[in-house]
Amino acid sequence: MTAWVIARNTFGEAIRKKILNVFLILALGSVLISLTFTFLEFRQQVVILKSFGLGMVQFWGLFIAIIMGISLIPADIEQRTIYTILSKPVKRYEYVLGRFLGGAITLAVNVALMGAAFLLVFLLKVNTRALESLASLDFGPFWTSWVWSGEVPGLIGGIAMVYMKLLLLLAVAVCFSTFATVTVNFFLSSAVFIAGSISSVTEAMSKSPNTPIVLRWLYAAVHYVVPNFGNYDVQNPIIHPEVPAADLSLYMWKAVFYGLAYTIILLVVGVLVFERKEV
């Protein structure tokens, strides 16, 4: 309950943060830009638009997640607002949980806004013909030719995967922020993100007979122990709905489960460290 109060307040604080809003605006802008992709074949245009849109949601989301994650707790310490909070009947774990939860909600709202803009742009793109009929003020053909693309649910799934990835990154940054300074944490979290994003490399190297055995263990450790952000890179089958992707939704559920489990680990570690932290 207390955690929820802090979460709500954190959200209110975050959505007023200029820098996060700048990223959001940049994201919306870059999603809109993809409407100007009018080269090659129509099919190619749609593929690039989908890929670009999902990519932009993720790209700008990364900034939002990492900048928010590294500063959520340190900002309170820096500005000494934490004194008045922790001297109230707030348990330290409730505070950590509340800050994280507030960040998670902020992230969700941001991703939802970017995702909605992307879906809108996508629908406009695939309905180019319907829109052209509008220009001639002829609404009949507009309604008959407008399509509600069957790809929308898949794309929403893709956006959800992006969100899970960002949530996990947020948890990493929040966990590290309980012991690292903001600057150190920025590089630390980024490094973990990179190491965790090249899953296919780490997996291949850990299994390759050409890798020295010690390195193989190292790669395996990185692959299994570092949060595996690469798990959420399933945009390819989402961008190409014609490609059969067997068990994709099962996979996505497992990836969500993985992300939640890992988020809990990171929060537990963060709480354990923060319990002993001198603020």
Does the footprint of another protein cover residue 144 (CB under 8 A)? no
Q: Is 64 exposed, middle or buried (0-12, 13-18, 19+ CB in 10 A)?
A: buried
Question: Could you tell me the smallest distance in angstroms from the CB atom of residue 132 to another protein?
Answer: 13
What minimum distance in Å lies between the beta carbon of 1 and another protein?
7
Cα-based angle 26, 68, 19 (whole degrees, multiple of 5): 40
Residue with smaller CB distance to another protein, 186 or 193: 193
Enumerate residues 188-227 that contact another protein by CB under 8 A.
Answer: 193-194, 197-201, 203-204, 208, 223-225
40 scored as a contact of another protein (CB under 8 A) = yes
Work out which of 32, 59, 116, 141 binds another protein, going by CB under 8 A: 59
Let me know: does 43 contact 17? Beta carbons within 8 Å: no
Query: Judged by CB under 8 A, how many residues of this single chain contact another protein?
Result: 96
Packing angle of the helix pair 152-177, 248-275 (nearest 10 deg): 20
Of these, 151, 169, 176, 188, which contacts another protein (CB under 8 A)? 151
**Binding residue for another protein, selected from 36, 41, 135, 140, defined by CB under 8 A:** 41
Which among 66-74, 103-111, 144-152, 178-186 is the span making contact with another protein, rule CB under 8 A?
144-152
**Longest pairwise C-alpha distance within the chain:** 70
* First-residue to last-residue Cα distance in the chain: 23
How far, CA to CA in Å, does 248 sit from each of 118, 158, 199, 245, 251? 22, 11, 18, 6, 5
Q: Which of residues 8-37 bind another protein (CB under 8 A)?
A: 9, 12-13, 16
Q: Does residue 234 bind another protein (CB under 8 A)?
A: yes
Six token digits for residue 201? 């490399």
| Of 19-27, 51-59, 134-142, 178-186: span binding another protein (CB under 8 A) | 51-59
* Residue 191 neighbours by CB distance under 10 Å: 11
Binders of another protein in range 65-124 (CB under 8 A): 79-81, 83-93
φ and ψ at 228, to 5 degrees? -90, 90
